[in-house]
A and B are shown apart, each in its own frame.
Chain A
Amino acid sequence: MAYKITDNCIGCTICAKNCPVGAITGTLREQHAIDGGLCIECGVCGKVCPKGAVEDPSGVPCSKVTKEQWKKPIIDKDACAGCSVCVENCPKDCLEIEDPKFHGDIHTVAQLMFHKEDACIGCMICSKVCPIGAITF
């Protein structure tokens, strides 16, 4: 399953520029296409498309969401076990396991990287893969 680009595409290339895994190809002013073998269903293409020309895997057209409205993950630090699954799966590499707060600190948990907060595309993959549902949006 993957996102799809419809005939409404005007070839503005915004989706291709934003796709974190390079799954979108196409030339300027021509219809773009998504490689189903690369698409990780992050949905950023749908959020940036000015023409609503992207459909999600179930065929529902996506609507544009401005960057300011993209949601950021909220990590339940009490529940998080620092297992790194979210970090490994984040397509923008904007999550990390925090540094130990003191020498011998054994309870390090996941956090959104301070300097990369803007990089987060609000794809919610971290929330989907978290084994214990400790990440919400």
Chain B
Amino acid sequence: MSTNYGGYMGKVALVDLATGRISEYPWTDEERRLFIGGKTMAAKIISDHLSEIVSPLDPSNLLVVTTGPLTGTGAPSSSRFNISTISPLTGILTSSNCGGNFGYYLKKAGYDALIITGRSETPVWLQIHNDTFRLHPADDMWGMLTGHVQEHLDEKLAEGANGRKVKNGKIVIGPAGENLVRYASVVSNERLAGRGGVGAVMGSKNLKAVTVSGNKMVQAKKPEQMLKLNQKWFKYLHGHPLTGDQMPRLGTAGLVSAMQFNGQLSTKNYKYGQYEDYEKVNGETLAEKYNIVNKGCLTCPIKCARTVEVNGKAVKGPELETLGLLGGGILNNDIELIFKWNFELDELGMDTISAANTLSYAMEANEQGLWDNGLEFGRTETISQLWDDIAHRRGVGNELAEGSRWLSEKYGGKDFAVHAKGMELAAYEPRRAVGLGLGYATSNRGGCHLNGGYMVIMEGLGLAMDAQTPHAKADGTVMFQDLMECISATGQCLFTSYAFFPFFLLKYPQAWYTKAVNKILPMAGPVMRIINKYPEIACIHLPVIFNQSKAMELATGMNMKFGTYIKAGKRGYVLERLINTKLGITAADDKLPKRFTDTPQVEGDDSTKVPLETMKKVYYDARGFDQNGLPKEKILKKLKLDNLAVAKMPVRQPLWEGPAAAEKKEACADGNH
């Protein structure tokens, strides 16, 4: 099915691993206009089949790999691709974004998306070259680490091309995905679609890897104007203090120090917001002592990735989340150990955030006498072995592989099992950035800072509005959730949105105008509400700071202004919510552990709790949801979601399986014997 829009390749492939059948999935220009690409497109595809999906690890689940229309057009940081599925970690929709080169090459093969369903009887890998799809046995690769299997696949492809190196993109899983660890990731080069257990879903399909190559080029609708915009945009990002200096110089790790000063750095399983040894595990130490070179994903001028040495080899360095959670989070001040663990987790194919948080939960459960597991804060010597045990589901690792929600159901300690909807939180402590707390609680994929709107950038990590006030947090969260949804959908990196904040506000934090902006922001809720309710009124391109909507217009030929861009993001966000509500999610699930809502971070100072219920009320109103968190008919109609199959389907039983379900299954199996 071809397309009249530029930027897209016009085809979506559907692969059924049970039968080996390959077909073209119907996807129209109207759907392209409404659902753009990336996570929004994937949500639409999954929503159309939601009633057929039996459970996350059942063959009926879909693994949907999508690209965005800007991927391959030359727009900055646009090589990102998305993997969505129903998550074994949360039982609801998850979307995981990755900076590897798979999406770029998928478009070279002529496809905008790849849908994988069914389960192969035996382990396989899928080779795609343009329209040729081949399934090969993967018995020899089963068990291989993610780096090794990628090298092995390059050799296999070269074998099939008379020894010539074949340029290709890959997605692979490691032992964690094979063994259905609930937070297993999918790896592409050194980058990961880390969150939500997409690797376990791939493993449940017996699919070890996909390689893709091709000789097609992405055509923008207006290539000359696109080139000019890109030149301007690259220059702007280069000159911006966040995207041109802080991010390339310190990486995401640069935020560790700022979080420490703000009391936002998760410490000892989020009990505290500051870690006394933070200087040993911060971005400055990483940059000054260890970073070999800053690297970027393909097409990225920001280049925030780190390179460090582990066992004499230059490997990807840790991000902020990993430094925070495997540093202060478990009271470890040895940064070299974090490099090693980060590498090991990538090689095993496991999400560092969920793995770290599950570990810190287990340490606290042990400390409180709930679960005798031998794990203690500050004791690090057994941790490398523990990752291997989790990935291979051995001993205590077998239980840790289920994630902190599952463990807290079994052993107790729900108040300090730091997850939202089953997904472990990032390294930001929300009691000193309450807007982010609301974001974590309402995020569609569970405890995610990015999907949650990342309000913390205005609560001390960029601008410095009052981090404790609930004012304007709900409307700000809605606006940024929608904005980031659309940036992801187009195939771009969310870090391009850092440049949304004019450089002078960030460069001169003490200037009178910056202070004035910080003071005014808590009062800006009603203004943001107007955009949230009526985004279409912003029928302009925002000059200089926001090039995304213009890029979409030039690349695709769609009529896309700032307002329509935000509206497309809103459509995606509400669609994801709609899917989740059909899987049983209501306002009662938009919650945080009591550690954040009932216990102040600073003893005696009640403002250092997350006033979640207060903010939620405003949030639902701003979103057009009822107070039970369900999208109202009016908003569905406005976003053209009211006629989708998912809007009409009844609410299903939750798909997440806790320890009780496992016990029940075991009992049934024993009964059968």
User: Bound complex: CA of A84 vs CA of B74, how far in Å?
Assistant: 11
Query: Which one of A81, A93, A99 has the greatest number of beta carbons of chain B within 10 Å?
Result: A81
Bitwise interface map of A from 12 to 54 toward B, beta carbon under 8 Å scored 1, else 0 = 0000000001100000000000000111110000000000000
User: Bound complex: CA of A20 vs CA of B318, how far in Å?
Assistant: 36
Q: Which residues of B contact A89 (CB under 8 A)?
A: 167
Q: Which residues of A contact B162 (CB under 8 A)?
A: 22
State whether A88 touches B167 (Cβ < 8 A). Answer: yes
State whether A40 touches B227 (Cβ < 8 A). Answer: no
State whether B298 touches A81 (Cβ < 8 A). Answer: no
Report the number of A-B residue pairs with Cβ-Cβ less than 8 Å. Answer: 77
Q: Is B288 an interface residue (CB 8 A)?
A: yes
Q: Which of A64-72, A100-108, A114-122 contacts B (4 or more CB under 8 A)?
A: A100-108
Selected from B76, B165, B167, B287, the residue in CB contact (under 8 A) with A104 is: B287
Q: Which residues of B contact A83 (CB under 8 A)?
A: 76, 234, 296, 298-301
CB closest residue in chain A, given B301: A81
User: Bound complex: CA of A2 vs CA of B214, how far in Å?
Assistant: 13
- Chain A min CB distance to B22 (Å): 16
Given A40-B215, A99-B293, decide whether A88 and B234 contact each other with a Cβ distance below 8 A.
no
State whether A133 touches B301 (Cβ < 8 A). Answer: no
User: Bound complex: CA of A84 vs CA of B104, how far in Å?
Assistant: 12
- Chain B min CB distance to A113 (Å): 15
Q: Is B101 an interface residue (CB 8 A)?
A: yes
User: Bound complex: CA of A18 vs CA of B287, how far in Å?
Assistant: 43
State whether A82 touches B234 (Cβ < 8 A). Answer: no
Q: Which residues of A contact B165 (CB under 8 A)?
A: 93
Bitwise interface map of B from 653 to 672 toward A, beta carbon under 8 Å scored 1, else 0 = 00000000000000000000
The main secondary structure of chain B at its interface with chain A is loop
Interface residues on A, range: 20 to 34
User: Bound complex: CA of A88 vs CA of B287, how far in Å?
Assistant: 26
State whether A106 touches B298 (Cβ < 8 A). Answer: no
Given A22-B161, A132-B234, decide whether A85 and B296 contact each other with a Cβ distance below 8 A.
no
Count residues on chain B whose CB falls below 8 Å from chain A CBs: 36
State whether B164 touches A106 (Cβ < 8 A). Answer: no
CB closest residue in chain B, given A41: B215
Q: Which residues of A contact B130 (CB under 8 A)?
A: 37
State whether B287 touches A132 (Cβ < 8 A). Answer: no
State whether A132 touches B231 (Cβ < 8 A). Answer: yes
State whether B234 touches A84 (Cβ < 8 A). Answer: no
State whether A132 touches B74 (Cβ < 8 A). Answer: yes
Q: Which residues of A contact B238 (CB under 8 A)?
A: 81
CB closest residue in chain B, given A125: B217
Selected from B74, B245, B249, the residue in CB contact (under 8 A) with A131 is: B74
Query: Which one of A41, A83, A88, A133 has the greatest number of beta carbons of chain B within 10 Å?
Result: A83
User: Bound complex: CA of A120 vs CA of B81, how far in Å?
Assistant: 31
Q: Which residues of A contact B293 (CB under 8 A)?
A: 99-100, 105, 108
Q: Is B303 an interface residue (CB 8 A)?
A: yes
User: Bound complex: CA of A79 vs CA of B233, how far in Å?
Assistant: 12
State whether A88 touches B248 (Cβ < 8 A). Answer: no
Q: Is B574 an interface residue (CB 8 A)?
A: no
User: Bound complex: CA of A89 vs CA of B167, how far in Å?
Assistant: 8
State whether A37 touches B129 (Cβ < 8 A). Answer: yes
State whether A84 touches B161 (Cβ < 8 A). Answer: no
User: Bound complex: CA of A91 vs CA of B76, how far in Å?
Assistant: 22
State whether A82 touches B249 (Cβ < 8 A). Answer: no
Q: Which residues of B contact A133 (CB under 8 A)?
A: 227, 231
User: Bound complex: CA of A38 vs CA of B291, how far in Å?
Assistant: 39
User: Bound complex: CA of A1 vs CA of B278, how far in Å?
Assistant: 56
Q: Which residues of A contact B167 (CB under 8 A)?
A: 88-89, 91
- Chain B min CB distance to A107 (Å): 8
Given A100-B293, A132-B227, decide whether A38 and B298 contact each other with a Cβ distance below 8 A.
no
State whether A85 touches B161 (Cβ < 8 A). Answer: no
Q: Is B294 an interface residue (CB 8 A)?
A: yes
User: Bound complex: CA of A41 vs CA of B291, how far in Å?
Assistant: 39
CB closest residue in chain B, given A22: B164
Q: Is B230 an interface residue (CB 8 A)?
A: yes
Q: Is B427 an interface residue (CB 8 A)?
A: no
Bitwise interface map of B from 236 to 276 toward A, beta carbon under 8 Å scored 1, else 0 = 01100000010011000000000000000000000000000
Q: Is B575 an interface residue (CB 8 A)?
A: no
Bitwise interface map of B from 51 to 74 toward A, beta carbon under 8 Å scored 1, else 0 = 000000000000000000000011
- Chain A min CB distance to B299 (Å): 5
Given A81-B238, A131-B234, A132-B227, decide whether A106 and B294 contact each other with a Cβ distance below 8 A.
yes
Q: Which residues of B contact A129 (CB under 8 A)?
A: 74
CB closest residue in chain B, given A106: B248
Q: Which residues of A contact B73 (CB under 8 A)?
A: 131
State whether B300 touches A38 (Cβ < 8 A). Answer: no
- Using a CB–CB distance below 8 Å, which chain B residues touch chain A? 73-76, 101, 104, 129-130, 132, 161-162, 164-165, 167, 215, 227, 230-231, 234, 237-238, 245, 248-249, 287-288, 291-294, 296, 298-301, 303
Known pairs A84-B300, A131-B74. 9 more at Cβ < 8 A? A22-B164, A37-B132, A39-B215, A84-B298, A85-B299, A88-B298, A105-B293, A108-B294, A131-B227
For this complex, 5 residue pairs linking A to B, each with C-beta atoms less than 8 Å apart, are A37-B129, A85-B74, A88-B298, A131-B74, A131-B227
Q: Which 9 A-B pairs have the closest CB atoms?
A: A131-B74, A81-B301, A106-B248, A132-B231, A131-B230, A22-B164, A40-B215, A100-B293, A37-B130
